[in-house]
């Protein structure tokens, strides 16, 4: 078996390990963060389970840390009190970005982790199966319920050679994105093998597994080897180590070869992570802002390399350099060893250890700016400045660029980039608050501020559905299009009515008003609809606007599951060319849809009433998903028993 099969089969609750067929797995650990967590805990409360049943569940506060009003702070208070009551650990704001802290302090080889954040696969660096999901799926897992997924096919990413000076783990994943695209990993686990693996440290592996999310992959995983053991020991967690690697005769569905020695610095140009060129090909683009941090690139190793490049130099006069270390542990070590001093002296603006600029929580660039960043997503508008272009690079490229003011290949910089992994990290868990005991929990009050509104719930599916196509969209529409998230909107993650005023506005500002006036309808989309974030809001808000179904060429994995969990039909064109035969404002009808779904139909006739024809659309639902759609979502189905 390969590593993926070993972990999945050890956690298998039902189904067979045949790629594409539905399996259910037991979840050992869960994580939430604050922008999806509020909703996940509201849903957990609605399920009426008093205490979580996982080995460890933890809630991080790392996204909504810009507190320009009471809303974010109220959400934090709700999360702090609801987790304390129900048996969940709390990582306080200031402790760091969920994926970085999970890697340092919580993740364990061989375990399963489900997180309400699409970059949960970061944990795969430690040899665990770590999957991103919607908040509702995470709430179910916290309650001890299994997690359902399509058994992935496993891709062998075979690494040989060794990264050259100035070339980074980020360049490995950017190269994979260039080769495979943002759809290349859908339905797959990217499993890393080969002699190149042992040359990569855990933070470097984490950069690669983190950004596997941008390939659309279910997750990514490395073996657990002596490098893993050394990392866990240095974190004071040697006892969490178990060795785990693929059998000699392990079988994979596909193989991708990467020779690390041949890679050179890469950059993803606006506005897609797979729009990748070499830094050389991109040319000397003039840069206004450089942002270093995010869950992709904010480890101790990353920050030490940045400090080495900046040491004794000054940031270019036209550049604003922003650095956000990934965790309190990283920041603390940088301050103890003087590297922080080197950054500050070079002119860096140090931000708190949080998602920050990556999710548009501050540091929006100027009009038409070129912003070079180390994060994983450069979707349109995500930085908070629509006219700005975001370029994704490694920490080394970002730091070199900050000094020259133009996009710069870091292989030529004068600096000592040989940063050794520490024998011991400065670990300290005093910002991770344990939950109350069961006895204490009974009397604890959960504090709910005025911004926390009830979440919408679907009704049971009607016999037939009809309505207008309210919006026609192209390929690769992201969750940042469907439910934009910047500093002005993130405070409303627990207020769906307010968010609904912004649904799909990056595609068409008139959409929310049109949807409300029509009393609901359908969406029409191209391929890979809903890629990006795990945010369930991208389904809850359309549900609130009475969207009954999405007609698309194809869907991204997490968003499709979120639609079904909330009773919205994900219909795929059997013949992609039929997409062109539909237009915005066309009236469509799905006759006897309830009966068809009940009977297990895998194809659905969809009539374009306006133009007078009927096409076939695929609706490949598992029996469980059919029950969910018929009941009007997961919560209704659970209530029905
Ligand atoms: C993101 O990177 O887009 C986020 C913000 O972390 C999201 C979660 C969210 O939308 O709250 C994700 O990746 O799932
Ligand atoms: Fe936070 Fe950005 Fe990572 Fe999402 S991608 S978890 S916003 S740092």
Statement: residue 126 has pLDDT above 90: yes
For residue 398, tell me if it sits in a domain.
yes
For a mutational test of ligand 2's pocket, the pick from 33, 357, 359, i.e. the residue with the most ligand atoms closer than 8 A to its C-beta, is 359
* Ligand 1: residue whose CA is nearest its atom 11: 35
For residue 591, tell me if it sits in a domain.
yes
**Pair 357, 350: CB distance under 8 Å:** no
521-525 and 547-552: which strand pairing? parallel
Residues 540, 394 share a domain: no
CA proximity to 124, closest of 104, 143, 109? 109
Statement: residue 89 has pLDDT above 90: yes
Using DSSP, state whether 355 is helix, strand or coil: coil
What confidence category does residue 639 fall into, taking pLDDT thresholds of 50, 70 and 90? confident
Max intra-chain CA distance, the chain? 72
* Ligand 1: residue whose CA is nearest its atom 10: 535
CA proximity to 634, closest of 546, 553, 547, 543? 543
**Pair 128, 109: CB distance under 8 Å:** yes
What is the C-alpha separation between 76 and 306, in angstroms, rounded? 32
Crossing angle of helices 300-310/395-404, nearest 10°?
20
Average pLDDT of span 117-141: 98
For residue 247, tell me if it sits in a domain.
yes
For residue 433, tell me if it sits in a domain.
no
Distance in Å, CA 314 to ligand 1 centroid:
33
Residues 60, 149 share a domain: yes
Domain's final residue, options 388, 412, 436: 412
Statement: residue 382 has pLDDT above 80: yes
119 Cβ inside 6 Å of ligand 1: yes
What confidence category does residue 504 fall into, taking pLDDT thresholds of 50, 70 and 90? very high
Distance in Å, CA 587 to ligand 2 centroid:
39
What is the C-alpha separation between 36 and 63, in angstroms, rounded? 9
What is the C-alpha separation between 156 and 254, in angstroms, rounded? 6
Residues 78, 22 share a domain: yes
pLDDT value of position 455: 87
Write out the DSSP string of 91-160: E-TTSB-HHHHIIIII--TT-EEEESSTTGGGGGGGT-EEEE--HHHHHHHHTT--EEEEPPEEEEEEEE
CATH classification at residue 344: 3.30.499.10
488: Cβ contacts below 8 Å, ≥ 6 apart: none
535 Cβ inside 6 Å of ligand 1: yes
For a mutational test of ligand 2's pocket, the pick from 66, 98, 375, i.e. the residue with the most ligand atoms closer than 8 A to its C-beta, is 375
pLDDT value of position 540: 97
Structure-block tokens of residue 573: 């064109």
pLDDT value of position 457: 87
401 Cβ inside 6 Å of ligand 1: no
Using DSSP, state whether 546 is helix, strand or coil: coil
What is the C-alpha separation between 236 and 423, in angstroms, rounded? 10
Distance in Å, CA 228 to ligand 2 centroid:
24
Distance in Å, CA 487 to ligand 2 centroid:
14
pLDDT in tens, 435-471: 999 999 999 999 999 989 988 989 999 999 999 999 9
Structure-block tokens of residue 367: 């009009």
pLDDT in tens, 549-591: 999 999 999 999 999 999 999 999 999 999 999 999 999 999 9
Domain that holds residue 479: 465-640
Structure-block tokens of residue 524: 């029409």
Residues 320, 202 share a domain: no
Residues 395, 538 share a domain: no
Distance in Å, CA 262 to ligand 1 centroid:
33
Average pLDDT of span 341-363: 97
Q: Which of left, alpha, beta for 389 (phi over 0: left; psi -120 to 50: alpha)?
A: beta
Atom of ligand 1 minimally distant from the CA of 213: 13
Atom of ligand 1 minimally distant from the CA of 35: 11
pLDDT value of position 95: 98
Q: What percent of the chain has pLDDT over 70?
A: 100
What is the C-alpha separation between 610 and 587, in angstroms, rounded? 5
DSSP 602: S
Domain's final residue, options 205, 233, 262: 262
Alpha-carbon torsion angle 130, 136, 137, 139, nearest 10:
80
36 Cβ inside 6 Å of ligand 1: yes
CA-derived radius of gyration, the chain: 23
**Pair 90, 433: CB distance under 8 Å:** yes
Residues 97, 221 share a domain: yes
Residues 289, 233 share a domain: no
Average pLDDT of span 472-491: 96
Residue 437, classified by CB atoms within 10 Å of its CB into exposed (0-12), middle (13-18) or buried (19+), is exposed
What is the C-alpha separation between 602 and 599, in angstroms, rounded? 9
Q: Structural domain tally of the chain?
A: 3
For residue 279, tell me if it sits in a domain.
yes
What is the C-alpha separation between 410 and 170, in angstroms, rounded? 13
pLDDT in tens, 188-238: 999 999 999 999 999 999 999 999 999 999 999 999 999 999 999 999 999
Average pLDDT of span 499-525: 98
Q: Mean pLDDT over all residues of the chain?
A: 97
Distance in Å, CA 117 to ligand 2 centroid:
8
Residues 49, 158 share a domain: yes
Residue 600, Cβ neighbours under 10 Å: how many?
A: 9
Statement: residue 243 has pLDDT above 80: yes
Residues 65, 48 share a domain: yes
Q: Which of left, alpha, beta for 85 (phi over 0: left; psi -120 to 50: alpha)?
A: alpha
Residues 500, 363 share a domain: no
The strands making up 29-32's β-sheet, listed across from edge to edge, are: 129-132, 112-115, 29-32, 56-60, 89-91, 432-433
Pocket around ligand 2 at a 6 A CB cut-off = 63, 97, 117, 119, 294-295, 355, 358-359, 375-376
593: Cβ contacts below 8 Å, ≥ 6 apart: 461, 462, 463, 464, 465, 569, 604
For residue 427, tell me if it sits in a domain.
no
Statement: residue 59 has pLDDT above 80: yes
What is the C-alpha separation between 592 and 595, in angstroms, rounded? 5
Distance in Å, CA 531 to ligand 1 centroid:
11
pTM for the model stands at: 0.98
CA proximity to 127, closest of 189, 52, 60? 189
Domain's final residue, options 211, 239, 262: 262
Residues 276, 243 share a domain: no
CATH classification at residue 472: 3.20.19.10
Residue 134, Cβ neighbours under 10 Å: how many?
A: 31
CA proximity to 360, closest of 382, 342, 328, 340? 382
Residues 599, 496 share a domain: yes
Handedness of CA 543, 146, 133, 498 (dihedral sign): positive
Atom of ligand 1 minimally distant from the CA of 377: 2
The strands making up 289-292's β-sheet, listed across from edge to edge, are: 276-278, 266-268, 389-392, 370-373, 289-292, 320-323, 349-350
Distance in Å, CA 111 to ligand 2 centroid:
22
């Amino acid at each position: 078996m390969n590593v993926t099969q070993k972990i999945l089969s050890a956690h298998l609750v039902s189904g067979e390990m045949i790629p594409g067929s539905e399996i259910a797995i037991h979840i050992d650990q869960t994580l939430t963060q604050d922008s999806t967590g509020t909703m996940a805990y509201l849903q957990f409360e609605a399920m009426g389970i008093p205490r979580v049943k996982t080995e460890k569940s933890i809630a991080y506060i790392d996204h909504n840390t810009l507190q320009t009003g009471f809303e974010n702070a109220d959400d934090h208070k709700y999360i702090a009190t609801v987790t304390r009551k129900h048996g969940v650990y709390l990582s306080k704001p200031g402790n760091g970005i969920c994926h970085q802290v999970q890697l340092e302090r919580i993740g364990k080889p061989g375990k399963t982790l489900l997180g309400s954040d699409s970059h949960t696969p970061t944990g795969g660096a430690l040899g665990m199966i770590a999957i991103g999901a919607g908040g509702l799926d995470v709430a179910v897992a916290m309650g001890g319920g299994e997690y359902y997924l399509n058994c992935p096919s496993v891709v062998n990413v075979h690494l040989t050679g060794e990264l050259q000076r100035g070339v980074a783990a980020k360049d490995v994943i950017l190269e994979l994105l260039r080769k495979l695209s943002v759809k290349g990993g859908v339905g797959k686990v990217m499993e890393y093998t080969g002699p190149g693996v042992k040359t990569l440290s855990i933070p470097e592996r984490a950069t690669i597994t983190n950004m596997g999310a941008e390939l659309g992959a279910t997750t990514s995983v490395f073996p657990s080897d002596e490098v893993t053991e050394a990392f866990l020991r240095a974190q004071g967690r040697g006892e969490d180590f178990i060795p785990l690697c693929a059998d000699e005769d392990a079988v994979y569905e596909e193989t991708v070869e990467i020779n690390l020695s041949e890679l050179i610095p890469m950059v993803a140009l606006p506005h897609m992570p797979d729009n990748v060129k070499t830094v050389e090909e991109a040319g000397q683009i003039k840069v206004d802002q450089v942002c270093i941090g995010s869950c992709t690139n904010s480890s101790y190793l990353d920050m030490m390399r940045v400090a080495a490049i900046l040491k004794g130099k000054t940031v270019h006069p036209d550049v604003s350099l922003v650095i956000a270390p990934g965790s309190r542990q990283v920041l603390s070590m940088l301050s103890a060893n003087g590297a922080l001093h080197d950054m500050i002296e070079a002119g860096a603006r140090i931000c708190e250890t949080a998602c920050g600029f990556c999710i548009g929580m501050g540091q929006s660039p100027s009009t038409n700016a070129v912003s070079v960043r180390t994060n994983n997503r450069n979707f349109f508008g995500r930085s908070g400045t629509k006219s700005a272009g975001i370029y994704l690079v490694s920490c080394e490229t970002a730091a070199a660029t900050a000094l020259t003011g133009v996009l710069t290949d870091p292989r030529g910089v004068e600096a000592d980039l040989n940063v050794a992994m520490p024998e011991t990290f400065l670990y300290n868990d005093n910002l991770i608050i344990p939950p109350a005991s069961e006895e204490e929990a009974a009397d604890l009050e959960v504090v709910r501020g005025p911004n926390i509104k009830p979440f919408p719930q679907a009704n049971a599916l009607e016999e037939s559905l009809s309505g207008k196509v309210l919006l026609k969209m192209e390929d690769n529409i992201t969750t940042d299009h469907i439910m934009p998230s910047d500093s002005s909107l993130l405070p409303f993650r627990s207020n769906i009515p307010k968010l609904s005023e912004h649904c799909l506005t990056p595609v068409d500002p008139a959409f929310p008003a049109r949807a409300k006036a029509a009393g609901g309808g359908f969406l029409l989309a191209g391929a890979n609809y809903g890629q990006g974030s795990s945010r369930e809001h991208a389904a809850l808000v359309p549900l609130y606007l009475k969207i009954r179904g999405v007609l698309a060429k194809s869907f991204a994995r997490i968003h499709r599951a979120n639609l079904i969990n909330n009773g919205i039909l994900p219909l795929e064109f059997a013949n992609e060319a039929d997409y062109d035969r539909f237009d915005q404002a066309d009236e469509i009808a799905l006759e006897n849809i309830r009966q068809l779904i009940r009977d297990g139909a895998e194809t659905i006739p969809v009539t374009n009433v306006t133009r007078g024809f009927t096409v076939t659309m695929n609706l490949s639902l598992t029996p469980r998903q059919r029950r969910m759609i018929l009941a009007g979502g997961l919560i209704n189905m659970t209530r029905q028993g």
